[in-house]
Amino acid sequence: MGPSLGLAIDAENVCLWLNGSKGPVEILKKVNLRVRAGEYVAIVGPSGSGKTMFLSAVAGLEKITSGGLKVFGKTPVPEDPKIGFAMSRDALLPWRTARGNVELSLEALGVPASERRMRAEQALAQVDLLAYADVYRAQLSQGMRQRVALARTLVTNPSLLLLDEPFAALDAQTRILMQERLMKLLGSYEGTVFLVTHDISEAILLADRVIVFSHRPASIAKEIQIPLPRPRSAVHSRSTPEFQKIYEEIWSQLSREFTAEDL
Ligand SMILES: Nc1ncnc2c1ncn2[C@@H]1O[C@H](COP(=O)(O)OP(=O)(O)OP(=O)(O)O)[C@@H](O)[C@H]1O
Ligand SMILES: [Mg+2]
């Protein structure tokens, strides 16, 4: 039993370099982060700072250059059934129905056909889209596509849910409704959530702790605990003074991380 026991993510001095067109580029510089199993953590940071790269490393899709990275005590590998990864582009297959898209995650795990169908329908019911099980991507609104994508990620009941700007493609109002829906869904979820977002309110609503990444090469510029009581409401919580105070604190750090290039 190692020191990583009880940790979903254990990142120690994680450094990551990529080969750019003009030679090696430093992306992550000594990222130190421990996420307890069951904890909800959100990352905000300037565009291009390395948030997606860090998430990809956690998902085993990107190799770190140096340092240590463990997920549930092990070096991450791609296609780990314990990990569910949802991105901002819904990436639904257009030639499959909503149900077919949700079943895809179960096919990858070798779940038998009859069980796949049942579980896919349960997952679609959770996002209120059971009536759309036989509908193709082209006939779904962007918000519905995101809900199918969420069902596809949750259907395997992953222990670690990685969300990379899951609602970035949605308009501001639909996004708030999706945040509300996600929080309701997570009410019956026992795993860990690791969210990357540009939306500070989304980070505060969802997370127990918000991490601010510095500009590239990214390290952790600040960590902010979110002591707001749960359940929180995407519609109502944002207008409270406590919420506003945390928002200002995060924004003041984040705005310091923008470089001349960003402005
Ligand atoms: N193959 C590559 N070679 C070199 N640099 C790359 C490569 N892929 C990405 N990068 C650089 O890595 C940096 C981090 O990218 P990443 O996608 O992690 O940023 P991000 O924080 O997720 O940004 P955003 O908020 O815009 O999604 C960027 O500056 C990008 O230009
Ligand atoms: Mg990104």
pLDDT of residue 136: 97
Instruction: Please indicate whether residue 53, judged by its CB atom, sits closer than 6 Å to ligand 1.
Output: yes
For residue 214, give the DSSP letter. Answer: P
Dihedral-angle region of residue 85 (phi above 0 means left; psi in -120 to 50 means alpha; beta otherwise): beta
| Peptide bond before residue 231 is cis, with ω within 30 degrees of 0 | yes
- pTM, rounded to two decimals: 0.93
Q: Whose CA is nearest to atom 4 of ligand 1?
A: 20
Taking the centre of ligand 2 as the mean of its atom positions, its distance from the CA of residue 230, in whole angstroms, is: 28
Instruction: Please indicate whether residue 191, judged by its CB atom, sits closer than 6 Å to ligand 1.
Output: no
* Chunked mean pLDDT (size 10), the chain, 263 residues: 76 97 96 97 96 96 97 94 85 94 93 96 94 96 91 94 91 91 89 96 97 96 95 89 96 89 71
pLDDT of residue 5: 62
For residue 159, the one-letter residue type is S
Instruction: Please indicate whether residue 197, judged by its CB atom, sits closer than 6 Å to ligand 1.
Output: no
Taking the centre of ligand 1 as the mean of its atom positions, its distance from the CA of residue 33, in whole angstroms, is: 20
Taking the centre of ligand 1 as the mean of its atom positions, its distance from the CA of residue 162, in whole angstroms, is: 17
Cβ-based neighbours of 161, under 8 Å, separated by 6 or more:
84, 86, 153, 154, 189, 191, 192, 193, 194
For residue 66, the one-letter residue type is S
Half-sphere exposure of 117 (CA within 13 A, CB side): 3
- Strands in the chain per DSSP E: 7-20, 23-36, 40-44, 66-71, 83-87, 160-164, 192-196, 209-213, 220-225
Element (H, E) at 96: none
pLDDT of residue 260: 66
Closest atom of ligand 1 relative to the 56 alpha carbon: 18
Taking the centre of ligand 2 as the mean of its atom positions, its distance from the CA of residue 112, in whole angstroms, is: 35
pLDDT of residue 17: 97
- For 100-117, write each residue's pLDDT tens digit: 999 999 998 999 999 999
Q: Which of 25, 43, 163 to mutate to test the pocket of ligand 1 (most atoms within 8 A of CB)?
A: 25
- For 190-217, write each residue's pLDDT tens digit: 999 999 999 999 999 999 999 999 999 9
Instruction: Please indicate whether residue 218, judged by its CB atom, sits closer than 6 Å to ligand 1.
Output: no
pLDDT of residue 91: 82
| Peptide bond before residue 217 is cis, with ω within 30 degrees of 0 | yes
In the chain, how long is the greatest CA-to-CA distance? 56
Tell me the C-alpha distance between 214 and 209, whole Å: 16
* Structure-token pair, residue 176: 């708030």
pLDDT of residue 246: 97
